[in-house]
Structure 1
Amino acid sequence: MTYDPTGRLLLTPVDREASVRAQRLRRLGLGQHPDPVFDAFARRLAEATGAPYSLVNFIDENRQFFAGLHTPAGTHSGSDLSAVAAACGINRVMARDHGYCPHVVARRKALVLEDVCDYPRFAGNPVVDEIGIRSYLGAPLIDRTDTALGAVCVVDTVPRQWGLAGLATIKAAAAELVAQIHHREDGGI
């Protein structure tokens, strides 16, 4: 963990695998461009969980990149996460100290936050105040080389009861996406 000068616990965990992950992502050609297949995957995951927002997130040494992104279509009000995120300069790229996927990747375990405000460690994350995130459900994308490439997640601007079914869904989605990545690597489409 890192700390700021005022002594507040910051949310970004130390990531000792960042350089190995970045090399693996480059070899796979992931984490640099939006991918329509990953966008479709994020849409299906949002539908499966009933969440308005879903991400396929690859994390390198310096940033997070949403290669797959689903937001509610046609809404651009102040409550629309994509509009707020774009206004904050986030869009498909986000700093490593924002959000919860860096925790999922560093811990290599799924993370369920039904209300991020219930957890002091997570409530102070910039995505709470800047974007309005209130709930998070994510799982790591661990490939055949035992590299945590990133995470797949769903988020909402209201507290959500994800429960065991949500946890099972996000873990299954991560496994499915890793299988798709392996298929690509092996020469499949």
Structure 2
Amino acid sequence: MTYESPAYQSLTPIDQEAPHRVQRLRDLGLGESPDPEFDEFAQKLAHITRAPYAMVNFISEDRQYFAGLYTAPAGRAGNPDVAAGQPGRVMSRDHGYCPHVVVRRKALVLDDVCDYPRFAGNPVVDEIGIRSYLGAPLIDHTGMALGTICVVDTEPRPWGRQGLETIKSLAAELTERINRRSGR
């Protein structure tokens, strides 16, 4: 299922690599259960960026799985006027912005998702109250984009060049850990 904007512009990109990614994730034993190392990494990511939510996300053909997840304690998650839900470990592939990062194979910075018609209509805006996003792909030594690391906030955030460099650097750090797990 792909969401369409009023101008009929596809919001979720077609992912030709998904079947190969699913097999690679199976081979690595990733993307099917929570991982304490990835939870710790998500917490580190949230701390560095001062974001209320952070994820280590592996993407299959129809869903996203947050093997690493950090959510701020109650009362610190952002705008109290937003009746927001909490992100869980599993999310539809059509929700959020990480599928764009995986298909593009490039980091994505959205200071305010509402400034971008393509992204403003995403279900996470209404369901979780997401207003800003910062994410980067996890590309392993085989060249496969396995997933992403990302942080989100319920308020607009000026991530800037420093945010971009930070998320790319942390993605490279986690990718190296994943490569070591796979014996390379």
| Fold shared by both chains (TM-score > 0.5) | yes
| Structure 1: distance between partners of 2:5 and 2:149 | 32
Amino acid at match of 2:99: P
1:96 matched residue in structure 2: 93
Retained in 1: the 8 A contact 2:3–2:12? no
2:49 matched residue in structure 1: 49
SS at match of 2:85: helix
Amino acid at match of 2:166: T
| Structure 2: distance between partners of 1:47 and 1:3 | 33
Distance 1:171 1:158, change over 3 A: same
| Structure 1: distance between partners of 2:126 and 2:62 | 22
| Structure 1: distance between partners of 2:114 and 2:31 | 30
2:9 matched residue in structure 1: 9
Percent identity (aligned)? 64
| Structure 1: distance between partners of 2:68 and 2:35 | 6
Superposed displacement of residue 62, structure 1: 1.2
Distance 1:165 1:18, change over 3 A: same
1:70 matched residue in structure 2: 70
Instruction: Give TM-score scaled by structure 1 length.
Output: 0.89
1:95-134 to 2 correspondence within 5 Å?
95-134=92-131
Superposed displacement of residue 6, structure 1: 6.7
| Structure 2: distance between partners of 1:115 and 1:31 | 28
Superposed displacement of residue 73, structure 1: 2.4
In the alignment, structure 1 segments of 5+ residues that lack a partner are: none
Which 4+ residue blocks in structure 1 deviate beyond 2 angstroms? 2-10, 73-79
Retained in 2: the 8 A contact 1:10–1:125? no
Q: CA RMSD in A?
A: 2.3
| Structure 1: distance between partners of 2:113 and 2:6 | 22
| Structure 2: distance between partners of 1:160 and 1:131 | 16
1:165 matched residue in structure 2: 162
| Structure 1: distance between partners of 2:76 and 2:92 | 23
Retained in 1: the 8 A contact 2:65–2:91? yes
| Structure 1: distance between partners of 2:33 and 2:147 | 14
Amino acid at match of 1:134: R
User: Is 1:175 matched with 2:176?
Assistant: no
| Structure 1: distance between partners of 2:40 and 2:17 | 28
Superposed displacement of residue 7, structure 1: 5.5
Superposed displacement of residue 184, structure 1: 1.0
2:20 matched residue in structure 1: 20
SS at match of 1:171: helix
Distance 1:160 1:23, change over 3 A: same
Instruction: Give TM-score scaled by structure 2 length.
Output: 0.91
Retained in 2: the 8 A contact 1:59–1:102? yes
In the alignment, structure 2 segments of 5+ residues that lack a partner are: none
1:36 matched residue in structure 2: 36
2:85 matched residue in structure 1: 84
Superposed displacement of residue 3, structure 1: 5.7
